[in-house]
Structure 1
């Protein structure tokens, strides 16, 4: 696994034709943030900001995961989505 595979997966996500569920979007978002920035480093938003809170919680669940593991998981999820789309 290398940076190139991760970057290719990032590009492939934009090419997917089937809509993703909100849960899939959050999973990819959280893995992307963990892979590129590491552990969540922003304060928890107020609960009134539902979307921001969901994103923060998803990213924070990956706390302690290495950037390399996050890249691997991201690539695996994108491959899963591509297979689902291919039927």
Structure 2
């Protein structure tokens, strides 16, 4: 597993045209953040900001996961989404 594959997956996700559920978007986001920044290092947003709160919670659930593991999962999830789009 290498940085190049991760970067290719990052580019590929932007090319998806099919519908992606909000839950899948949150998962992909959380693994991207964990892979690029590590453990969530920002305070929780206010509960009234539902979108920011959901993103924070998704990322924070990955606490303790290594950046390499997050990259692997991110790449696998993007591949899964690409397969689903292809039908």
**TM-score normalised by length of structure 2:** 0.98
1:22 aligned onto 2:41? no
Q: Name the counterpart of 2:5.
A: 5
Measure how far apart 1:19 and its partner are.
1.7
Q: Name the counterpart of 2:52.
A: 52
Q: Distance in 2 between matches of 1:42 and 1:34?
A: 13
Deviating 4+ runs (over 3 angstroms): none
Q: Distance in 2 between matches of 1:78 and 1:45?
A: 27
Q: Distance in 2 between matches of 1:56 and 1:17?
A: 25
1:78 aligned onto 2:78? yes
**Unmatched 5+ stretches in structure 2:** none
Q: Distance in 1 between matches of 2:82 and 2:29?
A: 17
1:69 aligned onto 2:69? yes
- For these two proteins, the number of residue pairs brought into alignment is 87
Q: Distance in 1 between matches of 2:49 and 2:15?
A: 29
Q: Distance in 2 between matches of 1:65 and 1:82?
A: 24
**TM-score normalised by length of structure 1:** 0.98
